[in-house]
């Protein structure tokens, strides 16, 4: 399946700032069952983009906007191909022993240890006891069970938490967003000795799938390391095994490793973030995504027109 992705980001400052330095993780990965065909990024005001790969293979773009500005707009566009992974096959009775050997090797140490947002707090341990979380017949069966239990235990409620919320906020309220559910599943899997990591990206929505996550938005899920299978994706927000609708951008220990954008600026101002995402299914790499709605076109024009107007004003 081929997807065309438009990801618009706008930082609006309450007063002019003299410089912005940004780091961005928006380029989809090209590995496993996913291939990146094209990617481009532009900024308004214009900036020279640099890039590098971090320790986990994520492409990180960074740039500096040294001039005076009140808006910073980032436009990322990608064409990605995602193949359907093969069906999961049952694991043998010695899978836990094989997994323990993988963990003991130290190669995936950082994906077993607690991290900033995925850790065993007192509330998370109580939740684990409530669910009776324990090693089942094999790691795959245990993860599928855990994926489903988290899905049913929490209400999906946009705006109920924010990107820096600890897992306790969602555990206490029994509601949250995809980041919360991913962090909770990562922490529980690591408690069982399963290497588990955070995935940021997008989920293509179809009406017939009845996903409860928001369409045309960034998304988060997890990947767990399984013997003989490698890293397998689980989406506790939607009770899914990750497949050809999941578009991977970056992997990390948790959200703190892979925010789509972060940075600093000089000036006495507060900042406000707006994001708009459009994921479109296309038949071939050469096909142009032309099914955008009038609402999306209006949003896109608003982002670009406001940014260009601010740039012209700043130059006068």
Choose among 264, 263, 261, 266: nearest CA to 68. 266
Q: In what order do the strands lie in the sheet with 271-282?
A: 34-44, 69-82, 2-17, 271-282
Report pTM. Answer: 0.94
Tell me the C-alpha distance between 165 and 179, whole Å. 9
Per-residue confidence of the chain (316 residues) as pLDDT tens digits? 999 999 999 999 999 999 999 999 999 999 999 999 999 999 999 999 999 999 999 999 999 999 899 999 999 999 999 999 999 988 987 999 999 998 899 999 999 999 999 999 999 999 999 999 999 999 999 999 999 999 999 999 999 999 899 999 999 999 999 999 999 999 999 999 999 999 999 999 988 888 999 998 999 999 999 999 999 999 999 999 999 999 999 999 999 999 999 999 999 999 999 999 999 999 888 776 555 677 888 888 888 888 878 776 666 5
CB 249 within 8 A of CB 26: yes
């Amino acid at each position: 399946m081929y997807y065309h992705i438009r990801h618009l980001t706008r930082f609006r400052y309450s007063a002019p700032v003299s410089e912005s330095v940004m780091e961005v993780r928006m380029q989809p990965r090209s590995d496993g069952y996913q291939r990146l065909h094209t990617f481009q990024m532009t900024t308004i005001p214009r900036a020279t983009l640099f890039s590098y790969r971090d320790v986990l293979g994520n492409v990180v773009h960074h740039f500096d906007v040294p001039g005076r500005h009140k808006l910073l707009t980032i436009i990322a566009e990608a064409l990605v191909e995602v193949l359907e992974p093969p069906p999961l096959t049952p694991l043998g009775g010695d899978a836990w022993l094989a997994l323990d050997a993988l963990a003991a090797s130290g190669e995936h140490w950082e994906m077993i240890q607690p991290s900033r947002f995925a850790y065993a707090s007192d509330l998370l341990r109580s939740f684990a006891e409530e669910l009776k979380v324990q090693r089942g017949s094999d790691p795959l069966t245990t993860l599928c069970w855990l994926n489903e239990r988290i899905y049913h235990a929490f209400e999906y409620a946009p705006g109920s938490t924010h990107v820096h919320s600890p897992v306790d906020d969602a555990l206490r309220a029994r509601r949250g967003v995809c980041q919360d559910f991913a962090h909770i599943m990562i922490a529980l899997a690591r408690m069982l000795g399963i290497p588990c990591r955070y995935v940021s990206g997008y989920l293509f929505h179809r009406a017939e799938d009845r996903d409860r996550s928001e369409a045309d938005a960034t998304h988060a899920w997890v990947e767990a390391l399984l013997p003989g299978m490698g890293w397998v994706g689980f989406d506790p927000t939607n009770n899914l095994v990750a497949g050809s609708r999941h578009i991977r951008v970056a992997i990390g220990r948790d959200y703190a490793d892979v925010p789509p954008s972060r940075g600093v600026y000089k000036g006495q101002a507060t900042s406000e973030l707006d994001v708009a995402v459009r994921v479109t299914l296309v038949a071939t790499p050469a096909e142009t995504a032309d099914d955008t709605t009038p609402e999306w076109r209006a949003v896109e024009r608003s982002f670009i027109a406001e940014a260009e107007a601010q740039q012209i004003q700043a130059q006068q």
